[in-house]
Amino acid sequence: MEHQHHEHQHEMPEMKGHDHPQHQERNGMGHGDMGHAGYDHGAMIADFRKRFYVVLAFTLPILALSPMIQHWLHLQIGFPGDRYILFALSTAVFLYGGRPFLTGWLSELKAKNPGMMTLIGFAISVAYLYSAATVFGLKGMDFFWELDTLILIMLLGHWIEMKSIAGASRELELLVQLMPSAAHVLKGDVTEDVKTESLKENDLILIKPGEKVPADGMVEDGESYLNESMLTGESAPVQKTKGQQVIAGSVNGNGSLKVRVTHSGKDSYLFKVIDLVRDAQNAKSNTQLLADKAARWLTIIALLAGITTFVVWISLGHDLAFAMERMVTVIVICCPHALGLAVPLVVAKSTSLSAQHGLLIKNRTAFENARKITSIVFDKTGTLTKGKFEVSRMVFTEGVLKSENELLKLAGALESNSEHPIATGILSEVKKRKLTLPEAAQFKAITGKGVEAVAEQKHIKVVSPGYLKENSISLPVNFKVASNETVVFVLIGEKLAGFVALADAIREESKGAIATLHENGIKSILLTGDNKQVAESVSTQLKMDGFFAEVLPHEKLEKIKELQQQGEFVAMTGDGVNDAPALAQADVGIAVGSGSDVAAETAGIVLVNSNPKDIVNLILFGKATYRKMTQNLAWATGYNVITLPLAAGVLYNQGIMVSPAIGAVLMTVSTVVVAINASLLSIGNKK
């Protein structure tokens, strides 16, 4: 997926000025096409609020002058020309209060895409023209008061609903606001404050304590803890020292950092995420297409039902005013508003929430399909395991050394110059135990077998089991290596001083993640290039449903196909690079641990962290999101099935009548219910 980052370079920090995605998405089903092309979201909310209050001011005199209201309240307010004043006030309400609906109707007609605005525009126009005709000679009773209350409630409903939509997109706005507006660029000894968007690759910037990081980069000097939770979902602050990456938008702790910019603002991880979120919010999934189709049909049904209602009541001998009122009520109550919003509101909320928790949705359909997953295939290294060697145990030879720490110090002294994963694992343990390493001199590599040097006036070697065999050095009694362990031996002279065992440790979260999958009826399968013993060991410890071992990268695709042929709906997790074919073949491809490589091309979903708990969260959140969508669709459809016959007057003989104003209230309530239900969506939502 290509992202056109340059489009957003300058407008990002002021995103409040954007119309919300679902308005464009619904092709005129909402306010996006209401003749307000130049408006931003906040201005549209303010406009509806203002129109509502103006119409409210007109409502009292209109009600007071309406013959029907006077009849109900047993009042007598009459004076010469009162009908013309009522007409003038109602005309003002129709033209000013009804303007958004009338211009929206025109836009929908131009686009040949009739929707909600067509229904409201048609309903208020019929009500106004009929009532105006009664003022100038047509026999019948006007319903100006009904027109006024209908427009009043419609304006209120739109105002409330737009505030709900603004709430659903607030998370995306929060992501935008993560970017600081200024950065401190270091030029020699001078610090210059510049706008964030003017930062270029290779600029050296200073990040002071408590400040937000303005661009992706590499630490050149300093040490601090950074809070990356809003970007990755990782709650614990992450330590950053020289040579480590920092992500734009994360918050610096109490140390100062000098950072070399690696991506300018528009190419930063955060901007890619924002683009991705916006693309996903605008993308139509199958559920969205279903909702759009339903809303289109509802528009046609509403118009046909309204006209049929009018014809039926006229043919039954009722007067024109009554038949008109029934028609207007049917059309208003059937507005496919709730239906049009049922899915987009959930989409906006879920996509933004996901981004904050390090789940980046590139393909809406893949995300919604998470509910169908029956088997999930885990790439082992770096997902279920930590992907790096850690010291699992140490044994020292009594009489030669006094403690584990002494053994570790000697091994660490020799490994301190090496980049090898084993050396990194030993040094990590040294750091954890806060040990001071002795100096090592006369450092020499023993080809393919280990290293040797002089430390603490002793000749030390750190070697593999192969070296011991070759030199006939006997192994300790009861010496056993677990299938997932790698062992190095420490020799003083040629005497065995002990050994250090290292393993790619299983993540603490893995066990819980696999157990949660089982609770949800999802099988977990391990896929690894490691040997059978290692695969079996990890699979057994985590109580997984099976494993594929010694699988080469190009064979992963075949394993996914095998599972699919057995009728499984398969999700695959991989690193997005060598797993690309398998990710593409899987029903749901999840790229993990991609960090700032957001555009892991073949995956439908990218997880910023490699945490298996995130994968489980993703699946459960996908299910919760789909549930919210179906709840909203069921509510919006069910509401119309019940209220349409009532509006048409099927229970008229039982004394049950729904006025246009009550119809508008019911329509507004149904829309607000949909908006509130969408806003209740949260990660970890089980409902």
Residues with catalytic roles: 379
CA distance linking residue 286 with residue 291, whole number of Å:
9
Enumerate the β-bridge partners of residue 487: 501
Integer-rounded Cα radius of gyration of the chain: 34
For residue 313, give the 3-state DSSP assignment: helix
Buried b (16+ CB within 10 A) or exposed e, 214-232: bbbbebeebebebbbbbbb
Dihedral sign, Cα of residue 395, residue 397, residue 398, residue 400: negative
Q: Residue 640: phi, psi to the nearest 5? A: -70, -40
Q: For the purposes of burial, counting CB atoms within 10 Å of the CB of 259, is it exposed (0-12), middle (13-18) or buried (19 or more)?
A: buried
For residue 644, give the 3-state DSSP assignment: helix
Measured CA to CA in angstroms, residue 162 lies from 334, 342, 460 at distances of 19, 14, 73
- Listed in sequence order, the DSSP H helices in 262-333 are 269-282, 286-315, 320-333
CA distance linking residue 332 with residue 647, whole number of Å:
9
Q: Residue 257: phi, psi to the nearest 5? A: -130, 140
What tokens does 161 get?
Answer: 């609903």
Q: Residue 647: phi, psi to the nearest 5? A: -65, -35
Q: Are 664 and 154 in contact (CB under 8 A)?
A: yes
Name the helix (H) or strand (E) containing 14.
none
Measured CA to CA in angstroms, residue 421 lies from 162, 288, 427, 463 at distances of 55, 48, 10, 14
What tokens does 477 get?
Answer: 């009694």
CA distance linking residue 378 with residue 526, whole number of Å:
5
CA distance linking residue 348 with residue 444, whole number of Å:
60
Q: Are 238 and 317 in contact (CB under 8 A)?
A: no
State which amino acid sits at residue 73: L
Residue the block writes with tokens 């065995």: 496
First to last CA, the chain: 33
For residue 344, give the 3-state DSSP assignment: helix
What tokens does 195 get?
Answer: 């706008």
CB atoms within 10 A of CB 141: 17
Q: Are 573 and 378 in contact (CB under 8 A)?
A: yes
CB atoms within 10 A of CB 623: 18
* Polymer length in residues for the chain: 687
